[in-house]
A and B are shown apart, each in its own frame.
Chain A
């Protein structure tokens, strides 16, 4: 590991003042320390933001939003009573991610900034456009059964690994950012960038900018939400496919729908076509199957990851089925492998 200087900002208001071009922020460290050990990240300085006052969770009753500080640990956010009661998709997504030990270390901001777990990204001996722009993508013709089918480019097919971010897309969250050029706010869907020709650029965050909070609207849509994650083992694994779904039902029809996918796309993926397939219709097994079908819109499977297209169909349909009461969605019970 490259030697680095360590500082903890004395002025909590302006941590970016210490962030020279070769420096990085660190909070929980679960992803960055790992990447530093394998040589993918090699900062000359670490600026420890872990003790900045950004760890509060607060309801804004007037705006009906939940404001979550960027340093709130995943475990605390999952257990927060407002999250459990009014944003079930968020609590479930958090608890479906990583292990209890990692959830205690991991923070909201760090989770949104985490890097892909593509094996070629971590392997310095292999080409990777994300790690070394222009070097090529070993996954295109290599081991890619876990890779993305949505949002891919000829330069990169790595999945975005976050569960939390997928739930936040379904909840129409907004990311609060501060930095050398002042504060700004961005919808979560715009925050992560598809690889295109520049897979090394994963978010809109500029050097020195820092996520300070995420704001989630507390709506009827969010209250009727669910996260379904399919993994290769029962727990502590990244998603093969996951779906965050939220439905607002009124007088027997779907008034509004938000559907986001994880484990199958290069960014936390909003499935617009799946949402459109539901709005104005009564919820039914057939409608949910059509939404699952629509969620595959634009999918480009490779040689070994075609199964993900079928997984999208089934995971979306099954997740939607959990959101309607008994009798409302015949044939959509909870199945083995679903997280509790």
Chain B
């Protein structure tokens, strides 16, 4: 996507705890801003239609599909991608990341960053009461490898069940 210089807008996003200044075309989605402008390639572009959940990020702690909304709308908001979950990149994994490793909750891994971010939000929302509840509240994240049983097991374990 190209635009004349005078069509670009300046946006300050707070991403994974850091203020990041962007000059972007207003057409740039939040997902594309993260991936193409900030080199945060954890959020994935799966369907780009809001149907697969691979692009899931947290905004002010709430999970959203970053492909269905424009970056310019998020001036000053706190965005958290999978890269920001564990804190120190050299340190320990986030407990949900560790649970996904422990339960082999992926095959190809493409949907995994979105699954993990979504699961972190699901736990904060307290929707991990039982496996059916986890499935319902993870319905916005598709896995073409169908690793669903292990994803549910990983989330249940991260919930302390």
Which A residues form the contact surface with B (CB < 8 A)?
A: 1, 3-6, 26, 28-30, 33-34, 37, 46, 48, 50, 75, 98-102, 104-105, 234-236, 339-340
Enumerate chain A residues within 8 angstroms of B132, measured Cβ to Cβ. Answer: 340
- Contact status B70-A6, CB under 8 Å: yes
Cβ of B3 within 8 Å of any chain A Cβ, yes or no, is yes
- Contact status B68-A30, CB under 8 Å: yes
- Contact status B1-A50, CB under 8 Å: no
Enumerate chain B residues within 8 angstroms of A29, measured Cβ to Cβ. Answer: 68-70, 73
Enumerate chain B residues within 8 angstroms of A101, measured Cβ to Cβ. Answer: 50, 53, 56, 63-65, 118, 140
- Contact status A34-B50, CB under 8 Å: yes
Enumerate chain A residues within 8 angstroms of B118, measured Cβ to Cβ. Answer: 100-101
- Contact status A100-B27, CB under 8 Å: no
Q: Name the residue on B nearest A45 (C-beta).
A: B26
* Neighbour of B63 across the interface among A6, A34, A104, CB < 8 A: A104
Kindly name the residue among A34, A75, A100, A104 whose own CB sees the greatest number of chain B CB atoms within 10 A.
Answer: A100
- Contact status A104-B64, CB under 8 Å: yes
Cβ of B7 within 8 Å of any chain A Cβ, yes or no, is yes
Which B residues form the contact surface with A (CB < 8 A)?
A: 1, 3, 7, 9, 25-27, 29, 48-50, 53, 56, 62-65, 68-70, 72-73, 118, 121-122, 125, 127, 132-133, 135-137, 139-141
**Complex: how many Å from CA A339 to CA B139?**
12
Enumerate chain A residues within 8 angstroms of B139, measured Cβ to Cβ. Answer: 99-100, 234-236
**Complex: how many Å from CA A46 to CA B127?**
35
CB distance from A234 to the nearest CB of B (A): 8
**Complex: how many Å from CA A6 to CA B28?**
12
**Complex: how many Å from CA A29 to CA B68?**
6
CB distance from A210 to the nearest CB of B (A): 17
Enumerate chain B residues within 8 angstroms of A6, measured Cβ to Cβ. Answer: 9, 26, 70, 72
**Complex: how many Å from CA A100 to CA B63?**
8
Q: Name the residue on A nearest B127 (C-beta).
A: A100
Q: A29-B73, A100-B63 are in contact. List 7 more A-B contacts (CB 8 A).
A: A1-B1, A6-B70, A30-B65, A75-B62, A100-B139, A102-B64, A235-B136
Q: Name the residue on B nearest A32 (C-beta).
A: B68
CB distance from B8 to the nearest CB of A (A): 11
Cross-chain pairs A/B with CB under 8 angstroms, 6 sampled: A3-B7, A5-B26, A33-B29, A50-B73, A98-B140, A234-B135
Enumerate chain B residues within 8 angstroms of A33, measured Cβ to Cβ. Answer: 29, 68-70
